[in-house]
Amino acid sequence: MKILVLHGPNLNLLGKREPDIYGSQTLGNINSLLEELSRELVCELSILQSNSEGELIDAIHASRQDCHGILMNPAAYTHTSIAIRDAVSAVGLPVVEVHLSNIHCREAFRHESMIAPVAVGQICGFGSDSYLLGLRALFNIIKKRNAA
């Protein structure tokens, strides 16, 4: 099983960017935790961080070739990108949307997700654990779909 992990814009600044909101862990720390969990689950991860909407869309499109699902933190694109939403919808893979902070307890413009309606689920507010919970959930969803 192979899962694409996508990190959206500004997540490369984790650990330095607003640690009171996003925590002190770096993106490298989060990726290491995900890799460790992937070994436990026995799945392969392909990980990409980009500040470019087009690059994220290209990765979503390419995932159709060899991935079974997508774990994604679209970051600010969550609230603005119909293009990413359409790409997720078009590839037909299960997607779990994750966020470090609870987007529903923040500014009003962060309350709506363009991605959630085409994702199998959303996990937010648990810091780096949001990613780990999301990976476990996605792994189980894919496993159930493959067994059916």
Give the CA dihedral 56, 41, 113, 76, nearest 10 degrees. -50
Q: Helices H, strands E: what count in the chain?
A: 5, 5
Model pLDDT, residue 26? 94
- pLDDT, tens digit only, all 148 positions of the chain: 999 999 999 999 988 877 777 778 899 999 999 999 999 999 999 999 999 999 999 999 999 999 999 999 999 999 889 999 999 999 999 999 999 988 877 767 666 899 999 999 999 999 999 999 999 999 999 999 988 7
Query: Which active-site residues does the annotation give?
Result: 22, 99
Spacing of C-alpha 1 from chain mean position: 17
Residue 70, CA distances (Å) to 15, 112, 115 in order: 24, 20, 12
Neighbours of 146 (CB within 10 A): 9
Q: Is the pTM of this model over 0.85?
A: yes
Residue 34 to residue 32: CA distance in whole angstroms: 5
Residue 57 to residue 111: CA distance in whole angstroms: 22
What is the third-level CATH fold of 2-147? Rossmann fold (3.40.50)
Model pLDDT, residue 109? 60
